[in-house]
Structure 1
Amino acid sequence: MIKIKFGTDGWRAIIADDFTVENVKRVAYATALWLKQNFENPSAVVGNDPRFAGPLFADVTTRVLASEGIKVYRAENTFVSTPMISLGTVRQNASAGIIITASHNPPAYNGYKIKASYGGPATPDDIEKVESQIPDTIELSLKSLDDYKKDGLVEMVDLEQMYITHVENSFDLEAIRNSGKEWAYDAMYGAGQNVMQRLFPEITMLHCDHNPGFEGQAPEPIQRNLQQFEDVIKMSEGEIACGLVTDGDADRIGLYDQNGNFVDSHHILLLLIHYMYKVKGQRGEVYSTFSCTSKIQKLCDHYGLNNTVTKIGFKYICDLIVNSGKPFMVGGEESGGIAVDGHIPERDGIWIGLIIWEFMAKTGRSLTDLIQEIYDIVGKFAVERYDLHVTEELKQQIIRNCKSGAYKAFGSYNITRSEDLDGFKFFFEDGSWVMIRPSGTEPVLRVYSEAPSSEDSFKILDATKAVLLG
């Protein structure tokens, strides 16, 4: 039997290789033990995204939990998003939520994510408790799903409708629909497709049918994966005001403006702070991860808001939302996972996209105009990234150099100060920076740079790469 290890956001493995019915049973059994140890009358919400064999693995998980006397609220929908599971966990007052998903991983993968009772990622401590109890082998006598339903241990719930009702109660959808603006949405064959087709049946839709193979592409909303969507927007010649993209389980976001330019999470976070503070009059804490743009701090200073910078990973943002005891406004990470007040402490691509659409509809402004409003306050910027594939030996040497302060400059860019919260960020005289962070699982160095333009960012990346690989 393989040793099952949870990563930063669940356990993921290749279907029929390590992600098998037998191994899912092992993980579900450990989850059941953890639930029984920590909750008086434990219950769980269970569902799956559109990946291959998702319903099979979700049913197996449901039956294992029910066999241990745990009440299961099973999504009756063919597939659901991760935010739907998190919302369902809160609404059903469940002890945990479980979704069978590999998020934005390639189609050969599936996975198992655990959500806490507050509707966000389970803590690393709780994941460790589950992981430590996964048995090497398992012998369980399971009844059918129908039998557990008759026993009252399994109840089917419509998480899709629950989510849509929550959206309808939280947004001015008529303002978006009647704005005179054209909208577009790319589901990447992921779990957001049904909700968006029900909410906005008239808009331009791409990859909104059930295709568990994702046409062979990882459903990650980054520019290189979105060329078809980009072309559709460009061909509309400005008719489409904004394009929204969500990943496989619909918790991450990507955006396009009316000219077919990709709008990254750094800009989306700034737009959210700007809208929620200036237009909606909200106040609260801002949380951003170490790899996010420094302009977040600048905008927060401008508005008198507090920005806390965390380690990289949404779990650190969720921890602050849930446990800081302070009013919360916006929190997010560079990779497209963003949460806002008024919803669950969870990444949600559709929710964030609808806030931006509402912002555009209510102001009558284009996305380009709104971004210019941000630039007028904080200055223009771009964040770019290289993934450097290096030997493990060289990776470790570079990290040692970063720790010892060996680097004084990267080419003509002189280092004035550095930070090492999660990786190593080196600042230059004009406020631009480069950040070096090793992958925890691969011989890869992730190198990020922020500068006034993409061209400047790439120049810094190239100069840094030349020094590192010397």
Structure 2
Amino acid sequence: MIDLSRIVKAYDVRGTVPDQLNEPVAEALGRAFVQTLRSRGEFAEKIVTAHDMRASGPALATAFANGARAEGADVLEAGLGSTDLLYYASGVLDLPGAMFTASHNPAQYNGIKLCKQGAKPVGQDTGLTEIRERAQQILDSGARVPEGELKGGLEQYSLLERYATHLLKLVDLSDIRPLTVVVDAGNGMGGYTVPAVLGSGLPLTIIPLYFELDGTFPNHEANPLEPANLVDLQAKVRATGADIGLAFDGDADRCFVVDERGEAVSPSVITAMVAVRELAKDPGATIIHNLITSKVVPEIVREHGGEPVRTRVGHSFIKAEMARTGAVFGGEHSAHYYFRDFWGADTGMLAALHTLALLGGQPAPLSALAKDYERYAASGEINSTVPDTAAKMAEVEQAFPVEIDRLDGITLSFPDGSWANVRPSNTEPLLRLNVEAPTAERMAALRDEMLAVIRR
């Protein structure tokens, strides 16, 4: 018997196919999704679905659709798409949505990201727990829906062209200087969406890397957060003399940036850069950042007259704060970027367009632009396996008697301006460490001191 508590995570569904996630599971989740939305008074007469390039995606999406149709909901199948294309569909059509993807996870995985009308997130506290419980009951009953008993209708509808047109209305690239751009799609959905958005009529020369859609990821994992997966992009940028490199993850909702030297530009720097552009359009606006982005983000936001708001790590928290505050933009260390103009949802493609517009709107190279935003040295996220995360965090507190904030795990603030965050994983016996300091030497020393406590 499949235990859904093992695959229904804090923000989405994620599991191995077919032992954890298969067609009966997807069908049960489709039924439970519609049931839950209706029980909460949230319209569910029609939903929209999309799937990435993984081989299991079409069958899982069809099974989910059958579950939704068994409950009387009509289903609009967008077919192949990136996660932000699904959010676009949910937003522009004002429909709940389901995206079938495991993002950057290895080939044996698949998953489902759910949203309500207008791309509003579905997480543990906003319906996902109820969906899991209802789906578990359906699964345990062993009941399947006969094909002839599907009450809702089914329609196929491609949204790629409309998605591209919408993004290009938000950021005008027509007057920028010519740029050579290397794009590493990692055999993920960037290979589908990049040609539609950046492929014609713009002063861009696109050099593609791994645009072939292949859910087995034959070249490297589609996770640009890992430095090893940026190596090919960095080498290609240097070899071609390109102005910039872009790397997308598997479902293309995250975008990483490499400068003309082949050096990675941190997502905190990109967050600060885009924040400045958004504040120029909307002076005094609110900008969201999570608590492990660099201190440069709130500093830059304040310097440009904006209001920074700090939140927990995770898209459901960012999106909730976007809605609560009316924020114009939000960014995370993981290269998720959220836009009020995009229903508060995250889109790597729109962040890429802003970066290209900034670079192409002036003569300096990207490395020179980024330097103005690089004020601190950061460790990046370091994971450690520990048997008892709560006990270990208490041990860290005792070892470092400084000011502590408990918004998400524990954040320790040191007198010299350094800080460190230690927080537990939602799904594994891991502690995640992030350290930032005024200098690389201080960062390395503090990082090593904290790891010595965490790992002893």
Under a length normalisation based on structure 2, what TM-score does the superposition of the two structures give? 0.91
SS at match of 2:237: helix
Quote the offset at 1:41 in angstroms. 5.6
Report matched runs for 1:422-437 at 5 Å: 422-437=408-423
- Amino acid in the other structure paired with 1:468: I
| Partner Cα distance (1:288, 1:460) in 2 | 23
- Structure 2 residue aligned with 1:63: 66
Q: Does 1:190 align with 2:151?
A: no
- Amino acid in the other structure paired with 1:68: E
- Structure 2 residue aligned with 1:97: 97
The structure-2 alpha-carbon separation of the partners of 1:216 and 1:367, relative to structure 1 and needing over 3 Å to count, comes to closer
| 1:247-294 superposed Cα distances (whole Å, 9 cap, x missing partner) | 11111121100000111211111111122224x454411111111112
| Partner Cα distance (2:34, 2:260) in 1 | 48
Q: Does 1:452 align with 2:451?
A: no
- Structure 2 residue aligned with 1:24: 26
- Amino acid in the other structure paired with 1:267: V
| Partner Cα distance (1:350, 1:221) in 2 | 15
- Structure 2 residue aligned with 1:412: none
| Partner Cα distance (2:143, 2:424) in 1 | 40
Quote the offset at 1:218 in angstroms. 3.3
Whether contact under 8 Å (2:322, 2:340) holds in the other structure is: no
| 1:169-196 superposed Cα distances (whole Å, 9 cap, x missing partner) | 22213234xx222111111111122221
SS at match of 1:392: coil
| Partner Cα distance (2:269, 2:316) in 1 | 21
Report matched runs for 1:39-50 at 5 Å: 39=42, 42-50=45-53
- Amino acid in the other structure paired with 2:404: S
Report matched runs for 1:50-449 at 5 Å: 50-75=53-78, 77=79, 79-94=80-95, 96-123=96-123, 124-134=125-135, 135=138, 136-143=140-147, 153-176=153-176, 179-201=177-199, 202-215=205-218, 217-222=220-225, 223-236=227-240, 239-278=241-280, 280=281, 282-322=283-323, 324=324, 326-375=325-374, 380-385=375-380, 387-393=382-388, 395-402=389-396, 405-408=397-400, 415=402, 417-449=403-435
Quote the offset at 1:455 in angstroms. 4.6
- Amino acid in the other structure paired with 1:45: V
- Amino acid in the other structure paired with 2:185: A
| Partner Cα distance (1:40, 1:385) in 2 | 41
Whether contact under 8 Å (2:186, 2:248) holds in the other structure is: yes
| 1:421-440 superposed Cα distances (whole Å, 9 cap, x missing partner) | 11111122220112211223
The structure-2 alpha-carbon separation of the partners of 1:60 and 1:390, relative to structure 1 and needing over 3 Å to count, comes to closer
The structure-2 alpha-carbon separation of the partners of 1:22 and 1:270, relative to structure 1 and needing over 3 Å to count, comes to same
The structure-2 alpha-carbon separation of the partners of 1:468 and 1:199, relative to structure 1 and needing over 3 Å to count, comes to closer
Whether contact under 8 Å (1:63, 1:142) holds in the other structure is: no
| Partner Cα distance (2:106, 2:299) in 1 | 37
Quote the offset at 1:56 in angstroms. 1.2
| 1:19-55 superposed Cα distances (whole Å, 9 cap, x missing partner) | 1111111211211211332345621101101112211
| Partner Cα distance (1:350, 1:369) in 2 | 23
The structure-2 alpha-carbon separation of the partners of 1:39 and 1:439, relative to structure 1 and needing over 3 Å to count, comes to closer
| Partner Cα distance (2:420, 2:453) in 1 | 12
| 1:55-79 superposed Cα distances (whole Å, 9 cap, x missing partner) | 111111112212221011111x4x1
Quote the offset at 1:217 in angstroms. 4.3
SS at match of 1:328: coil
Task: Using the aligned pairs only, state the percent identity.
Answer: 22
Q: What RMSD in Å do the two structures reach over aligned CA positions? A: 2.1
SS at match of 1:111: strand
Quote the offset at 1:98 in angstroms. 0.3
Aligned equivalent of 1:464, options 421, 425, 450: 450
Whether contact under 8 Å (1:245, 1:255) holds in the other structure is: yes
SS at match of 1:115: strand
Q: Which runs of 5+ in 2 are unaligned?
A: 200-204
SS at match of 1:215: coil
Aligned length: 443
Quote the offset at 1:309 in angstroms. 0.9
SS at match of 1:226: helix
Whether contact under 8 Å (1:46, 1:74) holds in the other structure is: yes
SS at match of 2:364: coil
- Amino acid in the other structure paired with 1:356: T
Whether contact under 8 Å (2:383, 2:433) holds in the other structure is: yes
- Amino acid in the other structure paired with 1:269: T
| Partner Cα distance (1:83, 1:158) in 2 | 14
| Partner Cα distance (1:390, 1:67) in 2 | 43
| Partner Cα distance (1:234, 1:12) in 2 | 36
Whether contact under 8 Å (1:282, 1:329) holds in the other structure is: no
Whether contact under 8 Å (1:8, 1:313) holds in the other structure is: no
